[in-house]
Amino acid sequence: MNGETGTGRSAGIGGGRAGVLRAARAAERAPRRGRRPAAAALVLCLALAPALLPAAAAQAAPYAAARAPHASTPYATATDGKPTVRLSAKEAGKGGTLTVTGRGWRPKALLTLLICGQNMIGGTNACANGDGRAVTTDAHGAFRRKLPVAEPPKPCPCVVHVATVTGAAADAEAPFTVAGHPVAPLPEERTGGRLAVVAQPRLTGSSNLLTWFGAPAQRELRVTVGNLGPASAKDPVFQVGTSHGVFAPQWAEQQWRGTVPAGKKAEVRLPVELPAGAHGDYLVSLKYGGKVLVEQPWGVGRPWGVTLFWVLLCVVVPTAVFRIGMAVVDRVRPHLPGRDRGRSAGRTRPAGRTHAAGRPPGAAGTGKRIRNRIARSRAGDGTGTPDDSAALPWFTPDTAPSTTTSTERPTSKGSA
C-alpha cells in the first residue's frame, strides 16, 4: 500500500509540473503570434500618413477659422506691412453711424478718424474735422470705433482717413460714399512730379535786437527735394506749419517759384515766422501732397528785453511819482521865515506886517523891537562891527526911552 501510495503521489506531482510547463510555453507562444498583426498595422499607418495629413488639415481649417477671433494671438497685418482699415458699410447718409475697424497699427497708438472729400487730395482741409473721432489701438495694434457720418466740405469721391497723432507717421484710407452728398471729378494736379526729401533740412538766419524785445522770430527753411515722378514739378505748393508743445501745427500754404525736373533735385527755400513774443521749443513741419516731408526742431530764446523793460518800468515809474509828489508838497506847504530870510533880503516887506507872517505889528515882543532899532542906529552912525549891528540893542534918538520917565522918582506929597 505504501508503495502504491508513494508511486501515486510522485505521479501526481510529476503531472502537475508538466501542466505548469505547458501553460508557460503556451503563454510564451501567444505574444509571438500577436506581434505579427501589430507590426503589420504599424507599417500600414506609416504608409497612409502622407495621404491622410492634408485631408485632416483641410477638415480642421474651418474650426480654426471659427476660433480665430477669440484667440489671444496677434492680429494679422497686410502682406506689405502697412496698416489696414475696414468699414462696416460702403455707403451711409448724414446722421448715420459707421463702424471702423483696423489692424496692423502700432500698439497703444493714438489715431484720428475723419471722413474726407476729394479723396483727401487737399489734406485735412477737405475733411469733416468737427465730426472726427479719436481711438487708441490695443496691445495687438487693432481698434474698433464708431464714426458718425457727416458731409465733408469737399464733394465726393470720399474716403475714411485714419492717421496716427503721435510717434511715427502712418495712415490708411478706405473708400466711402456719403449718400446725398455732391459728387464732382477730382481736381487736376498742378504738378506732375512726386517730391521727396533727399537731404537733411536746415533753418538758417538769426535773431536781431528787435527780436530781443519781442519782435516775431524769423527763419528760412532750406530743404533739398528730388522729383521721383515721370513729369516735372512746376511751382509746387507746400504747407509750412509750426507747433509748440502738444498743440497741432498751424499750416500755411506757400508756393515755391521754380521747376524740379523729373529725376532731378533742387533746393527749396521757404520763410518761417513765429508770433510776436513767442519763445520755447517749436517744431517746423513741411507738408506736400498731404504728407509730411520733414520736421525740424527750433529753439527760440526768451525775449529778455521785454523783461528788462518791465523791470525798469516798475523802478522808474514809482521813482518819478515820488519826485513829483515831493515837488507838489514843497509848493503847497507854508514857508518858514528862517528859510526865506536869505531869499527876501532885497525885497521890502509890506507895511503893517512883522517877520512872522500874518502877525500884526503889536504882536511882536518889545525886547525884539528894541534890539532891531539899536542895530539900525549903530549901522547909521558907523560904530560897531557888522556883527554888533545885528546883535547889540542900540537905540535911535527918536526911539530911545526918556530919562525922565525911566530915572526920576516921583516926589512925595508935601515935599519941595
Interstrand relation of 133-136 and 259-260 (parallel, antiparallel or unpaired): unpaired
Distance between CA atoms of 148 and 93, rounded to whole angstroms? 10
- What are the 10-residue block averages of pLDDT along the chain, 416 residues in total? 42 46 51 53 59 49 40 40 90 93 94 92 84 94 95 93 87 93 78 75 85 85 86 88 85 89 88 86 88 88 84 90 90 70 51 48 54 62 50 58 55 54
CA atoms of 406 and 110, how far apart (whole Å): 119
Domains 84-179 and 195-300 share a fold: yes
Domain 84-179 has CATH 2.60.40.230: yes
Domain boundaries in the chain?
A: 84-179, 195-300, 302-331, 365-402
pLDDT value at position 20?
Answer: 41
Residue 14: predicted pLDDT: 45
Residue 219 and residue 99: Cα distance in Å, rounded?
44
Length of the chain: 416
The vertex-297 CA angle with 293 and 298, nearest 5°, equals 130
List CB contacts of 2: < 8 A, sequence separation 6 or more: none
pTM (predicted TM-score) = 0.36
Q: Strands 237-244 and 280-288: what pairing?
A: antiparallel
Residue 306 has a pLDDT of: 81
Q: pLDDT at position 294, please?
A: 87
CATH class of the domain at 195-300: mainly beta
| CA 143/CA 102 separation, integer angstroms | 5
